Structure 1
Amino acid sequence: ASGGLSDSEIEKMVKDAEANAEADKKRREAVEAKNQAESLIHSSEKSLKDYGDKVSETDRKAIEDAIAALKTAVEASEPDAEDIKAKTNTLMEVS
């Protein structure tokens, strides 16, 4: 009597692992994007605080809006890596 797994059980386990690998990859991308975004938010807020009086009101408002949009994306219950990356890029462009 064989105590091993059947071919179908092995195949199911491999498929489950592949499916989980994709989900893990997406989760990892979201975490990495979130970490980068949080760092940028922090540095942008600090720069705005330190040098905000040296930029125009229009630029200041654009930076504040970009920070707010990025914070919203980062704080989402299901953070979307692409959304966070796009808003990170926007903040980098305006600041």
Structure 2
Amino acid sequence: IDKMVKDAEANAAADKQRREAVDAKNHADALVHSTEKALAEHGSKVAETERRAIEDAVSDLKEALKGDDAEAIKAKTNTLAQASMKLG
């Protein structure tokens, strides 16, 4: 029983990291989807340089989503969130 408790405690940190990575990916996917939709609807109302910056942020986040680095995904998500605020 002690061994099982120790194993559970040891796996708790890994489980937490996996959960954070999944949560980060889900949040990022939702932001990519909503930003792409907003760009399609309102992209023509935004300056070309701002639109390009948003598109680059979407592309960077999609690339980060191919991996499992939760911190990179969170950073790219924040970058896209800041850039997409210009869409209104």
| Whole-angstrom CA distance in 1 between matches of 2:70 and 2:66 | 12
More helix by share: 2
Q: 1:30 aligns with which of 10, 21, 25?
A: 21
Letter of the structure 2 residue corresponding to residue 70 of structure 1: L
- What runs of 5+ residues in structure 2 fail to find an aligned partner? none
1:2-55 deviations in whole A, cap 9, x for unaligned? xxxxxxxx4432222112111110000000010000000000000011111111
Residue 85 of structure 1 is matched in structure 2 by: 74
Residue 12 of structure 2 is matched in structure 1 by: 21
Between 48-57 and 12-21, the greater mean CA deviation after superposition: 12-21
Q: 2:43 aligns with which of 20, 43, 52?
A: 52
Letter of the structure 2 residue corresponding to residue 85 of structure 1: K
- RMSD of aligned alpha carbons: 1.0
| Whole-angstrom CA distance in 1 between matches of 2:13 and 2:31 | 27
Q: Where do 4+ consecutive residues of structure 1 move more than 4 Å? A: none
What is the TM-score normalised by the length of structure 1? 0.82
